[in-house]
Structure 1
């Protein structure tokens, strides 16, 4: 059976595509670097859109905080530009959120790599001790 797509899902997808272009081309704040839009979650009543973003090459929490403030201040401007790009009666209010899933994924990947290396070293030590 085909998956049923709700209007909120279609709106979220269109907003994600448009916002990626608009932020890159229209937001000219020097404090804002490269922005990746990971996801857009639109409420069922289409009044609020949560935009989950990450920043390319940004690890400093103070810089991330500054970039988030810039995006949230530009939310009204971006909403107006979205209204011109997407033909809808009302454009959802934008709320930008920092998406920590990629950072957390990298941390977990590093921990797994360390555990595998420690296990391999432990096996090598045990096999060397068994040969004597």
Structure 2
């Protein structure tokens, strides 16, 4: 079945490419770590775009602090980034930008750890059963 390739998804991909370039090369905030944009979801009316990102931060800070700080930095710069996007995009309306930390990678690591732990417990149980025989 073919994938629905709507206007909003194409615009989301273009916004993702352009924002990645802007964040990497134009934003000069030293507190900003290595930001990776994972997904951009654009509303059907082009009123807003939700941008999901992950970040590799500085040593010595907790992950939660890095996430909060990076989210705040990006949301504070959303107006500047939106105005730069307006120059590049050929749309009549440029969506408002809202940045969110993408927790899917963290959830994936957590689930992988749970699966590994369950397999170790299962292997230990089977080894105990074979030792009794």
| 64, 68, 87: which one aligns with 1:65 | 68
Instruction: Give the alignment's TM-score, normalised by structure 1.
Output: 0.91
**Structure 2 spans left out of the alignment, 5+ residues:** none
Deviates more, 1:27-36 or 1:50-59: 50-59
Tell me what 2:89 maps to. Answer: 86
Say yes or no: does 1:104 pair with 2:115.
Answer: no
Aligned length: 130
Q: Deviations over 1:70-127 (max 9, x none)?
A: 0000001111111222222121010001111110110110010011011111111110
- 1:111-130 to 2 correspondences below 5 Å: 111-130=114-133
Q: Which runs of 4 or more aligned residues in structure 1 lie more than 3 Å from their structure 2 counterparts after TM superposition? A: 1-4
| 74, 77, 95: which one aligns with 2:77 | 74
Instruction: Give the alignment's TM-score, normalised by structure 2.
Output: 0.91
Q: Distance in 2 between matches of 1:57 and 1:106?
A: 18
